[in-house]
C-alpha cells in the first residue's frame, strides 16, 4: 500500500463532516486543533502551487474533494472501464503473463483534469495522440489517474502496454494526467494510484512483493513522472531504485 500524504486524512475528515451538513462552528468543534492546522497548512501549499485549488472553506463542493464512499471499501470501484470513458477500439493486442511484479509511475506531461468530464476528455486526447500521432495500436499506459480522484482503464491488467521501453511485457504503468515537474498532484490523484495498486493485489494481477519505479528509472533521459511527483514516488514503501536484470523484449 502506498503512503498517501497526511493532508488527505484531514481532507477526508472535513469532507465527511461537510457531507452531513454545512461546516459550521459546532461541526468544527469535532475537529481537533491538529486537523485544523493540517488543513490550514495544506491550503497554503495548494494556494501557492495550484491556481485552481479551492480551499477547505468550500465545504467539499469541488468534485475531487469528496471521494465516493464505495472507493474506500472496494478500490476497484475507483477504476472507470474503457466503455465508461468512450475508448476507441484497439488495433492489435499482446498479452502478459500474470501476475506482474513491476509498476511504473508516469505523468502525461499534458493537461491536468479536476472533474470527470474533463478527465474523460483528456483520456481521449491522450489516446488520439498515441494512436494518430505516435502510430501505436492503442493508448500506451495500463491505467491513468486524474485529480478527480478516479482511475481510468487504458490497456488494463492483461495487455502489453507501450509505456516503458524494454519493460512493457512484464509491468503495468499508471500515469497521472498532467505535468508534475513543478507542482505536486493533488492527494485525490495519489489516492487513485493507491486504488489501482490495491485492486491489482486483490485481483491477483500484481505480486504482493511488487516493485515500484518512476518512468525515469528505466529511461534516464526522460523526466517522467515529473520532478515533484518523482520525489514522492521515491518515498513509497515498494519503491526500488534498481531494476532487475532481464532480456528486454518490448
**Residue 50 vs residue 155, higher pLDDT:** 155
- The per-residue pLDDT for range 61-101, each reduced to its tens digit, is 344 444 444 445 789 999 999 999 999 999 999 999 999 99
Confidence of residue 26 (pLDDT cuts 50, 70, 90): very low
Neighbours of 248 (CB within 10 A): 11
Q: What is the pLDDT of residue 146?
A: 98
The residue-averaged pLDDT of 121-131 equals: 98
Which H helix or E strand runs over 69?
Answer: helix 69-73
- Report percent pLDDT > 70 for the chain: 69
Query: Pairing state of beta strands 143-145 and 100-107?
Result: unpaired
- Reading phi first (left if > 0) and then psi (alpha if -120 to 50, else beta), residue 59 is in left
CA dihedral of residues 140, 145, 148, 153 (deg, nearest 10): 60
Q: What CA–CA distance (Å, rounded) separates 15 from 93?
A: 42
Q: What is the pLDDT of residue 249?
A: 54
| Domains by residue range for the chain, with CATH | 7-61 (no CATH), 69-233 (3.40.80.10)
Residue 130: what are its φ and ψ, rounded to 5°?
-70, -35
Q: What CA–CA distance (Å, rounded) separates 245 from 26?
A: 59
Q: What is the pLDDT of residue 246?
A: 67
Here the cell at position 224 is: 517522467
The residue-averaged pLDDT of 108-120 equals: 98
Q: What CA–CA distance (Å, rounded) separates 119 from 127?
A: 12
Length of the chain: 250
Judged against a pLDDT cut of 50, whether residue 14 lies above it is answered with: no
- The per-residue pLDDT for range 156-204, each reduced to its tens digit, is 999 999 999 999 999 999 999 999 999 999 999 999 999 999 999 999 9
CB 123 within 8 A of CB 87: yes
Q: What is the pLDDT of residue 245?
A: 76
Judged against a pLDDT cut of 90, whether residue 217 lies above it is answered with: yes
Q: What is the pLDDT of residue 244?
A: 84
Q: What CA–CA distance (Å, rounded) separates 84 from 87?
A: 8
**Distance from chain centroid for Cα 185:** 9
Residue 61: what are its φ and ψ, rounded to 5°?
-80, -10
Judged against a pLDDT cut of 80, whether residue 114 lies above it is answered with: yes
Which residues face 200 on adjacent strands? none
Which H helix or E strand runs over 234?
Answer: none
Q: What is the pLDDT of residue 55?
A: 37
CB 78 within 8 A of CB 149: yes
Query: Pairing state of beta strands 171-176 and 143-145?
Result: parallel
Largest distance between two CA atoms of the chain: 62
Judged against a pLDDT cut of 70, whether residue 1 lies above it is answered with: no
**Residue 19 vs residue 225, higher pLDDT:** 225
Amino acid at each position: 500500500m502506498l503512503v498517501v500524504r497526511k493532508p488527505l486524512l484531514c481532507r477526508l475528515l472535513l469532507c465527511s463532516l461537510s457531507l452531513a451538513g454545512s461546516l459550521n462552528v459546532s461541526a468544527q468543534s469535532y475537529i481537533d486543533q491538529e486537523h485544523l492546522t493540517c488543513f490550514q497548512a495544506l491550503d497554503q501549499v495548494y494556494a501557492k502551487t495550484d491556481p485552481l485549488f479551492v480551499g477547505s472553506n468550500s465545504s467539499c463542493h469541488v468534485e475531487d474533494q469528496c471521494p465516493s464512499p464505495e472507493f474506500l471499501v472496494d478500490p476497484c470501484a475507483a477504476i472507470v472501464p474503457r466503455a465508461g470513458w468512450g475508448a476507441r477500439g484497439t488495433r492489435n493486442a499482446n498479452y502478459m503473463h500474470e501476475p506482474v511484479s513491476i509498476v511504473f509511475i508516469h505523468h502525461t506531461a499534458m493537461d491536468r483534469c479536476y472533474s470527470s468530464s474533463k478527465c474523460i476528455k483528456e483520456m481521449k486526447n491522450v489516446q488520439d495522440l498515441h494512436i494518430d500521432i505516435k502510430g501505436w495500436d492503442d493508448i500506451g499506459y495500463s491505467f491513468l489517474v486524474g485529480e478527480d480522484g478516479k482511475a481510468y482503464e487504458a490497456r488494463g491488467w492483461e495487455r502489453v502496454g507501450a509505456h516503458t521501453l524494454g519493460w512493457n511485457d512484464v509491468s503495468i504503468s499508471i500515469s497521472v494526467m498532467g505535468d508534475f515537474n513543478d507542482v505536486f498532484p493533488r492527494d485525490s490523484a495519489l489516492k487513485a494510484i493507491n486504488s489501482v495498486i490495491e485492486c491489482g493485489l486483490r485481483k491477483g494481477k500484481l505480486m504482493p512483493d511488487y516493485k515500484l519505479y518512476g518512468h525515469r528509472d528505466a529511461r534516464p533521459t526522460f523526466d517522467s513522472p515529473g520532478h515533484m511527483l518523482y520525489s514522492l514516488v521515491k518515498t513509497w514503501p515498494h519503491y526500488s531504485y534498481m531494476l532487475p536484470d532481464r532480456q528486454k523484449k518490448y
